[in-house]
Chains A and B, each alone.
Chain A
Amino acid sequence: MTSDLVSIGTVSADDPSIKTPGSALSRRNPTIKLALLFVVSLVLMFIFDPITTLVLYLLGLGAIGATARIPLRVLILAHIPFLAFAVSLVVVNALSRPGDVLWQSGALRVTAEGLSVGTALALRALVIGVLSIGFVLSTDSVALMTSLHQHARLGSRLTYAVLAGYRMLESLPSEWQTIRQAHAVRAQLRPNGKPPRGLRQYGRAAFALLVLSIRKGERMAQSLESRGLGLSPRTTWRRIPLTRADWVMAGAVLATVGAIILLSAFLGYLHGFSALRI
């Protein structure tokens, strides 16, 4: 699992080669995109059948694939954590939910209801996953914060604190590595000649990292204050546009989701919380 996370780390949002400037989705307003992601996730909370969620996933995948220009390898790699989560949802629900037994071996039994609900939940995770991937890889972090400040009334102090914190996060891995190396110098070696790797050692390194990060955070906060962050009135140099195209996108997404749910209900596939009842 660790190595999976490492692979995901290499396609994280701050790698410029992964960003998709110029794609249709990257030109849309970040606040609108974030709001849509939130609304769709919210609607999914009420849907418990695998058919509706599967259709939503396939449509989401198609829409992201068509508009975000994400390389296939990146799209697949980025799916890994969501897939792992999805598999665990299917397994847990299939094995633990009561209902018609499909298969049994000793204490293990799989129920039809469990499989159905588990698959629905798994697909729900994948829908949210694919939309999040599209959002993260098509959105510049600065543009997002600026847009939230501009369009969602996020305070300027909070906006820029988040941006500065983001910069600080970038330096944490190398700082951690240096601390671990510095601690290894005086450590008593294990019989195999390697420095110890216990919880205690990690705790000590984490404490040092915490102290150093707090200091650095304080200095950055002082820099931001000395640049006048928090004065009012203030202006915004490069406004993030909010155009008719953004509203059209929002309308299209919401209409599509609504239409699928209605169609699914009409055809009798749709299940809400009732699917959880025995």
Chain B
Amino acid sequence: MPDSGTILALHDVSVRFPRRPEAVLTGVSLRLAPGEQLIVFGASGSGKSTLLQTITGVIPHSVVASLGGSVRLGCDASAMQTSSTSVVALSRLVGAVAQDPSSSVCLPDVEQELALPLENRATDPGLISDHIDQALDAVQALTLRYRSTAQLSGGEGQRIALAATLIAEPAVLLLDEPTSMLDAAGLDAVRRAIRSAVDAYRPAVVLVEHRIDEFAGDAGIAGLPARALVLGETGIVIADGDTTDVLAARGRALNQDGCWLPLDTELHAVTGYSGGLGASDVRVGLRSLADLDTTPVQASRHSVGPIVLAAANLDIRRGAPPARRRGRAQAETTPPVLVRVSLSLHRGDIVALLGGNGTGKSSLMLTLAGLHPPTAGTVTGARPGMIFQNPEHQFVEHTVRGEIRHGLPSMTDDELESILHRHRLTHLADQSPFRLSGGEKRRLSVAAMLAHDRPVLLADEPTFGLDRRDTITTMTALRRAAESGRSILFSSHDLRTVATEADRVVVLADNTVIADGTVFDVLRSDEVRNRAGLVLPPLLRHLLDNFSDEEGRRVLRQLDAAVTGTTA
């Protein structure tokens, strides 16, 4: 029964993938009115992305999966069933922005990228230029019009992808973690762009997002879509309704499932009081978390162990090491990304490396790992281990078991099994590394690296793109490695994770190290934060202002413990 008040209708939708026993979505029914906005919550694996794929028609047309029930798009006469309409034809009504800007921007120039959707819809060529200006204006990116897409930063690329989606004026806009790959500066620009673009074009919106507080901005829960849908295990709809009500009723369960939640919801789940940091009951609750457990958590421990890796006066250039024959010419043309960097890592240290996108964090780690020669300076110490931002870059074998054994021919079967067990990989031992979920891939890459006995472990954005539970699991594995005497250096954009785990931070900005000190001291410095473009999340600001370092660290550990169900 089509009616003009519904632009999107899912009726009893179920999705199964071949060779997976349990369903990914089960009996999902949902109606969305034109212009209505919806946010989808759920633990990883609850089918959030699958839900979006059923709406674009990618399921069942491009992905092998069986689709039950029906998905209808459009009002009255123009309504289309996704099962009997091609993805391309559905694109007249649906637009989607995906996580990775590098694969959602397809053409060499920004102008071309924006013209393509209009050309495809047979727009009068005389009007296209004006439409491009309007769409760029809506995402606050007018200055990017004449740029080549290869030169765009992640945040810029994501705004162009958003403009290219909205320029066709889709009735339904799907946003699948649109900010997950961006640093603070890029995220802020994209968040404002989404807001202003949605105001300009008024599509119905379905949003899946990890970094919810950052997405909502200062408005908190009020800054989120007004309606929320919660998906549970096997993709069953657990709740559907007003976002504030849904989060109040389901917050505790979602928090325990390891979802990222708005801070107010998380604090409500843990302290039992609503109102966020502004409410005195919540603040008292946080205070009591600090007093709950008085075992020392070493929030401001100074580096005491012997030095295991030392870098002195490093100058680093990006890109391929200069070829011998043309080394001189190249060295003169590309400016170094880092100059005169010195730092040392001590046994048992956990050090966080901070800095905006493009400040040379990855280049520095590669140099410390001995994989990228510096143009000047020295690195001394035993061979370090390193885990990469994308775990797939590291995979060399065809099974999880082989992956852990890789490079260690003398490993016994007992040792292998104990590593698999310790990192909860036993049930996956014979699977292909490439087929694991994001969290499982990360666990494997950490386990495989830790199997090698290296005094230093470098980790490039180890928690990138993970849900809260996997983030905590990964960081716990790194902390255990430090407790057993290794030294850890990890980079991150997530200051809360940094404040929870790191002893020391090293901050990169303006082509060099601008700060190196205990984590809370450095984060308290306005000057350092401003120079490095670091933005303190409200919780961290509150803890820094009102708690001692030791207490602040304990509160953060207790909040994590509310997810994992263990004591910190």
Contacts and interface: CB of A to CB of B under 8 A. Distances in A.
Interface of A: 3, 6-7, 141-142, 156, 160, 163-164, 166-167, 170-171, 173-174, 177-179, 181-189, 204, 208, 211-212, 216, 218-239
Interface stretch (B108-116, B304-312, B496-504, B508-516): B108-116
Nearest to B389: A178
Given A182-B394, A229-B88, A224 B118 contact: no
B407 interface: yes
Interface string B429-441: 0000010000000
A225 B414 CA distance: 50
A211 B104 contact: no
Given A181-B371, A187-B407, A223 B106 contact: yes
A163 B106 contact: yes
A215 B211 CA distance: 24
Given A177-B320, A223-B104, 12 more contacts: A3-B323, A160-B116, A185-B449, A219-B98, A223-B103, A226-B94, A226-B96, A226-B165, A228-B91, A236-B119, A236-B125, A239-B125
B452 interface: yes
Contact of B392 (A211, A232, A233): A211
A185 B371 contact: yes
Interface of B: 56, 58, 62, 87-89, 91-92, 94-96, 98, 100, 102-109, 112, 115-125, 128-129, 149-150, 161, 164-165, 168, 319-320, 323, 325-326, 366, 369, 371-372, 383, 385-386, 388, 390, 392-396, 406-407, 409, 434, 448-449, 452
A167 B107 contact: yes
Contacts of B161: 223
A166 B371 contact: no
Contacts of B383: 189
22 contacts: A6-B323, A160-B116, A163-B107, A167-B108, A170-B150, A181-B371, A181-B372, A182-B386, A208-B393, A208-B396, A219-B98, A219-B103, A221-B62, A222-B62, A222-B87, A225-B62, A225-B87, A227-B116, A230-B120, A231-B120, A237-B118, A238-B125
Given A3-B323, A227-B116, A160 B106 contact: yes
A142 B164 contact: no
Contacts of A225: 62, 87-88, 91
Nearest to A181: B371
A166 to B, nearest CB: 7
Contacts of A236: 119, 125
A173 B393 CA distance: 13
B112 A142 contact: yes
Contacts of A228: 88, 91-92, 117, 120-121, 168
A141 B107 CA distance: 11
Contacts of B117: 227-228
Contacts of B395: 208
Given A223-B106, A225-B88, A182 B388 contact: yes
